[in-house]
A and B are shown apart, each in its own frame.
Chain A
Amino acid sequence: MKKFLAKRLGSGSLAVLFSIIFNFVIIRLAPGDPATLLVGKDNPNPEMIAMIREQYGLDKSMFEQLGAYFNQLFHLDLGYSYANSRDVWDMIVERLGPTLMIALTGTLIAVLIGTFIGVYAARKKGTFIDQAICSISYLFDSTPSFWLGLMLILLFSSILGLFPTSGMYNLRGNYTGFAHIMDVIQHMFLPVLTLVLLNIPYYFRIARSSVLQVMSEDFIMTLRATGMSEKKIFNKYVLRNAIIPTITVFGINLAYMVTGVSMIEITFAWPGMGRLMLDSITKRDYPVISGIYLVLSISVAIGMIIVDIVYATIDPRIRIEE
């Protein structure tokens, strides 16, 4: 186990290292220059551009810049945003919380509901209910997130007036304590609902197909032949085997969660990481982009290690080599 952990940590750090270099290089290869963007289009002053370049070290070669960046990281410093004149780390921490709030809540609810419906549909395979659920799931599966978000705003905010259209809390409210929490939950509702509706089909299909697959396995027939009741076979054998793909997919999805909600964040003006990332890309704010990718790649690496460990404990075929 220790050896496995060390091995995975090693390969994980290597992956993080490569992703830092890759992201660092690729964003600089993209057309566009932060200095010109900072100065503005109307009256570009060449001297000022050169000054900014020198100040941020953009005039040096890419190799030197990379070296400087690693030196910075070594001192646990993610750098300084060009566009916002703030510490990158502070900006990320500020945005990470709100993103995780809607991403985690939405994904968890979607996993639970999706899996539940999937198992139900698998049991009713071929019936009208099954076909109806499948059709609805395809409908939501092919819906763009921003469109669904807008439709929900139209319905719940404009027509019914139940929930606020955007933001994370009421700026004029000045609520504190419990009232503040309720206010945030009210603001969270629509983005989370959008995420849930879009993710349910995903988990629904995995649950449905893996339940059906396990039910068609030979060993289920064997259990029937030994005289076990259908209920026990289903609860004890089918479900436990069918849940493995859901866990895998959930683990992989954790990695994409932050980027996946960015469209929703923009639709609902939610102050999250996804929005920060897109803003920074348009402004060519290199330190912020690199910082975000660093945090993301570390979380992906950790997520994968956790999935591996969970996987090995539920499926003996994937044993961790001693």
Chain B
Amino acid sequence: MHNALEVNNLKKHYIQKKVVKKDGKTTSKQLVKAVDGVSFTLKQGEILGVIGESGCGKSTLGRLLISLEKPTEGDITLNGTDVHALLKQDRLKYRRMSQIIFQNPFDTFDPRHTVKKIMMSVLKLHHIGESEEEQLKICCDTLNEAGLQPAENYLDRYPFELSGGQLQRISILRSMLLNPIFLVADEPISMLDVSIRADIIRMLQQLTKEHNTAMVFISHDIATTRYISDRVAVMYLGKIVEIGTTDDILHSPSHPYTQALISNCASLDPLEERDVIKLEGEPPTPIDTGPGCYFAPRCVHACERCFKEYPDVRTKKNGVKVACFLVNDESGLETEKEV
């Protein structure tokens, strides 16, 4: 059985033209490394949470994963087949295999089209259902099953007449109409009211389980990610610094960045005493990252070596992969050169 998704050394570099530097000089070209060598695998039906601060390349990664952008380097394998080859061979077939849910449900749909038109256009494009009546029935059934009842009430409405939660539900349903084996959810709940976030998460969980869909769940909300994910990847400046099962990462983080991130996560218990790790220094930019560890300038444990070379990925005994020199030095764990 193939892995649903294999990502190998994925890179996306943007070329920025005419940039004014701090000293007032302009350079003609600059490389922005939005995603810089990301590798991971995803089993069928598995949910991987991707967390990290704003601008670390989460959303770019999401768009790369479903080929809305072309990677500068690296390759993605979907169900054992190279995505590039799949796209060339049959674009529609590839799109049926991988889908995305966007952050802002209000901007996801053409404002001039009704829900019916939005859903039907997907079915028509992919020739799902034999007649128009059958397609309409599929739409109704899907809406009814998802709790948007009665479906007839929703079919003739326009996106602006619906709430964010309803729209996001429709967005998810529409993606799942194609029965994909891989789904990217790019911060699907960050624009929604807190009260309906749980519903949407539950719906995502339920649907991906039913269809055995693998999902990359991009978020900056650690609590939600913990709730939904089987595994978690922590991103910093276009690289995955730590990846492993949700429990391992959140309970015993190894990378200093993950530690800082999790220590800053709000707790429900106000009496709980915790040491909040404050990060010093400027927020990172993915330009001129230098040879060393990207996190080194802000890292409390940084040593001389950290500034000279980027740490290789080490695998801990529990399977967590970390890119940090400290892991080896402190716990004497085995080192693994390859990714």
Which residues of chain A have a CB within 8 Å of any CB of chain B? 217-219, 221-229, 237, 240-241, 314-317
Contact = CB atoms under 8 A, between A and B. Distances in A.
Nearest to A228: B125
Interface stretch (B74-82, B106-114, B215-223, B225-233): B106-114
Interface stretch (B18-26, B36-44, B50-58, B89-97): B89-97
B94 A217 contact: no
30 contacts: A218-B102, A218-B107, A219-B107, A219-B108, A219-B109, A219-B110, A221-B63, A222-B100, A222-B102, A222-B171, A223-B110, A224-B68, A225-B66, A226-B121, A226-B178, A227-B91, A227-B94, A227-B95, A227-B96, A227-B125, A227-B126, A228-B121, A229-B91, A237-B110, A240-B112, A314-B112, A315-B112, A316-B111, A316-B112, A316-B158
B104 interface: yes
Contacts of A218: 102, 104, 107-108
Given A218-B102, A221-B102, A226 B108 contact: no
A227 B92 contact: yes
Contacts of B110: 219, 223, 237, 241
Interface string B303-315: 0000000000000
A241 B112 contact: yes
Contacts of B99: 225-226
Interface in B99-136: 99-100, 102, 104, 107-112, 114, 121-122, 125-126
Given A225-B100, A227-B94, A316-B158, A217 B107 contact: yes
A317 B160 contact: yes
Interface string B145-184: 0000000000000101000000000010010001000000
Nearest to A240: B112
A242 to B, nearest CB: 12
B59 to A, nearest CB: 11
A237 to B, nearest CB: 6
Contacts of A228: 121, 125
Contacts of B107: 217-219
A223 B126 CA distance: 12
A185 B43 CA distance: 73
A155 to B, nearest CB: 39
